[in-house]
Amino acid sequence: MSSSRFAVTSDRLSLEPLIGLVSAPGDAAPGRPGAVATFLGLVRERNLGRRVLRLEYEAHERLAVRAFERIDAEVRARWPTVRLALHHRVGRLEIGEASVAIAAGSPHRAEAFAACRYTIERVKQIAPIWKHEYFEGGDVWIEGATADPDDEQARQEALGRSCA
Amino acid sequence: MSSSRFAVTSDRLSLEPLIGLVSAPGDAAPGRPGAVATFLGLVRERNLGRRVLRLEYEAHERLAVRAFERIDAEVRARWPTVRLALHHRVGRLEIGEASVAIAAGSPHRAEAFAACRYTIERVKQIAPIWKHEYFEGGDVWIEGATADPDDEQARQEALGRSCA
Amino acid sequence: MRVTIRLFARLRELARRDELTREVGGAATVADVWGALAREFPALEPYTRSVSAAVNDDYSPMTRALANGDDVAFLPPVSGGRR
Amino acid sequence: MRVTIRLFARLRELARRDELTREVGGAATVADVWGALAREFPALEPYTRSVSAAVNDDYSPMTRALANGDDVAFLPPVSGGRR
């Protein structure tokens, strides 16, 4: 488990260290948080009617960490009191395992929730990470939209979903 | 740490068991969740300009657990796929410790986030739990609004904040 | 008939007890019990407008008629932080 | 000049390699490198409209002019789940 706030790792993810990273005293954020919102994305056993056997995640790791740092900068610009941590797993994942873990700490809960939701939306939009689904009867790369961190419409969509 | 989904406890809170409780396979919810949103409320060292030394939480414990179960029923009525767990701590809490821990699991993230936010809003509104703040120079019971689970306006306010 | 009265948080501190038993009239409501309590402990009086009640571990309106042996809890406002 | 090309996920599978080095013209852009790559590996051609690029571990527009030794990564669409 990485001790960085932003990481891509083949280790199993755990929220506890992320919560520690966003609630440590004495860092740049104004005091300790009163609220921590977190998100875990888990491998589901069914997708689009298929029975999933496992997933394999592949990343452009250095670019992914930079994308996470970019998202962090977007979050701080919008919610200056929020401190964020985000780990994404790569490699082979079994059903029920976590692919992504996010923690957002803030003095008050409104900002923590909004920043956490915004972050997962942006990760889906711009993190260079791909999911290879192995299901009963075949396998497929899950591809959605072109990754473009400068797409302002996508960013506004993420902001809208964060209920900010 | 209680193994129930809804509990009032003087033990330190931890998210991991709650996450386990909302992502276990084979229960009533339709399959394993793909998303778990959580919330932790932490004791802040400052409140209203005062330096807080510690908090003491007191609860009507059986009524509190019933209030949690009522919130769970409200959540299931609105978001049938969500599975919820909620533990609240009582007794003496030091700065940085968690007073409340919530986990909401769901096939998709929108419902998990909304249910988690709704739950903390409702806890603040109707859980019979009181906070006694010991600060530098004195102490005070923190009292807000009258607890009334049938207050529909309050419920709509919680729903509005959950961005449902 | 007799009811058990339980007090929490600041109400408990103001009355200096967390539980008491009182004899009440046969048609007594929760509000009646509160009224008698506030006369016995005048420090509780300011909570008349904001107190909630639970009977036998369920929230209850103040108008509820009580039965012998009921457990009546009086609850001060909850913290209900608005943010 | 020479650039290193890195391919990910399905692009990597279609070209059957994750890294290659190619000689390109002095004024070559990212788009030029992709065009030459799609001619060399026709299976990549359908990605011309949806591919993203990164140069030296930063996202880059396709119009960017490359320098000798640049590391050019081509990225298929990300999963970007809408829910």
Residue A1 — very low, low, confident or very high, per pLDDT cuts 50/70/90? Answer: low
- pTM for this entry: 0.95
The H or E element that residue A39 is part of is: strand A35-42
Residue B130 has pLDDT above 70, yes or no: yes
Which of chain B's residues have a Cβ under 8 Å away from the Cβ of D82?
none
Interface contact A127-D78, CB threshold 8 A: yes
Q: Does B85 touch chain C (CB under 8 A)?
A: no
| C-alpha–C-alpha distance, residues A36 and A23, integer Å | 8
D82 has a chain A CB within 8 A of its CB: yes
Are 3 or more Cβ–Cβ pairs between B and C shorter than 8 Å? yes
Question: How far is the alpha carbon of B38 from chain C, nearest alpha carbon, in Å?
Answer: 17
Confidence of residue B26 (pLDDT cuts 50, 70, 90): low
For residue D22, give the H/E element and its range.
Answer: strand D19-23
CB B114 within 8 A of CB B164: yes
What does pLDDT average to over chain C?
95
The stretch B117-132 carries a mean pLDDT of 97
DSSP-assigned letter for residue A11: S
B 90-149: CB under 8 A from C: 124-132, 141-149
pLDDT in tens, D37-70: 999 999 999 999 999 999 999 999 999 999 999 9
Contacting partners of chain A (3+ CB pairs under 8 A): B, C, D
The residue length of chain D stands at: 83
Taken in order C31, C32, C37, C42, the sign of the CA dihedral is: positive
Long-range contacts (CB closer than 8 Å, 24 or more residues apart) made by B31-34: B31/A44, B31/A45, B31/A46, B31/B107, B32/A42, B32/A44, B32/A45, B32/A95, B32/A96, B33/A42, B33/A44, B33/B83, B33/B105, B33/B106, B33/B107, B33/B112, B34/A41, B34/A42, B34/A43, B34/A44, B34/B106, B34/B107, B34/B108, B34/B109
> What residues are paired with D5 via a beta bridge?
D20, D72
The ipTM assigned to this model is 0.94
CA separation for the pair B76, B29 (Å, rounded): 10
| Positions of E strands within chain B | 6-9, 35-42, 46-47, 50-59, 83-89, 91-93, 98-106, 129-135, 138-142
A-to-D residue pairs, Cβ atoms closer than 8 angstroms: 79
Interface contact flag, A124 D81, Cβ < 8 Å: yes
- Nearest CA to B80 among B101, B99, B100, B108? B108
C-alpha to C-alpha distance for A156 and B122, rounded to whole angstroms: 29
Mean pLDDT over B114-141 rounds to: 97
Do residue A128 and residue D78 have CB atoms under 8 angstroms apart? yes
The answer to whether B104 touches B76, Cβ cutoff 8 Å, is: no
pLDDT of residue A35: 97
Q: Is the pLDDT of residue C19 over 50?
A: yes
The residue extents of the domains of chain A are 6-162
Please determine, for residue C82, whether its predicted confidence score (pLDDT) is greater than 50: no
CA-to-CA distance for C60 and C47, rounded, in angstroms? 16
- Residue B80 burial (CB count, 10 A): 12
Write down all domains in chain D, each with its CATH number in brackets. Answer: 2-75 (3.10.20.30)
pLDDT tens digit string along A30-87?
A: 568 999 999 999 999 998 889 999 999 999 999 999 999 999 999 999 999 999 999 9
pLDDT score at D32:
98
User: Would you tell me the crossing angle of helices A152-161 and A109-126 to the nearest 10 degrees?
Assistant: 140
- Indicate whether B2 pLDDT > 80: no
Which pLDDT value is given to residue C79? 80
Q: Does residue D33 register a pLDDT over 70?
A: yes
Q: What is the pLDDT of residues C52-66, one digit of tens each?
A: 999 999 999 999 999
Closest CA–CA distance from residue D83 to any residue of chain B (Å): 6
Task: Look at D78 and A63 and tell me if their CB atoms are within 8 Å.
Answer: no
Q: Helices in A94-151 by DSSP H: which ranges?
A: 109-126
Average pLDDT, rounded, for chain B:
93
Q: What is the mean pLDDT of residues B102-109?
A: 96
Least confident of A116-120, A126-130, B42-46, D78-82: D78-82
User: Would you mind telling me the total number of residues written for chain C in this entry?
Assistant: 83
Decide if C42 touches B, using CB distance below 8 A.
no
Per-residue pLDDT tens over the stretch A4-31 = 999 999 999 999 999 999 997 655 445 6
* Identity of the amino acid at D29: T
Confidence of residue B93 (pLDDT cuts 50, 70, 90): very high
Residues of chain D in contact with residue A148, where contact means CB-CB under 8 angstroms, are 52, 59
Q: Which helix (H) or strand (E) holds A91?
A: strand A91-93
How sure is the predictor about A3, in pLDDT bands with cuts at 50, 70 and 90?
A: confident
Res B122 pLDDT > 80:
yes
Class of domain A6-162 as given by CATH: alpha beta
Segment D18-22 mean pLDDT: 98
Average pLDDT for D14-28: 96
DSSP letter at B145 equals B
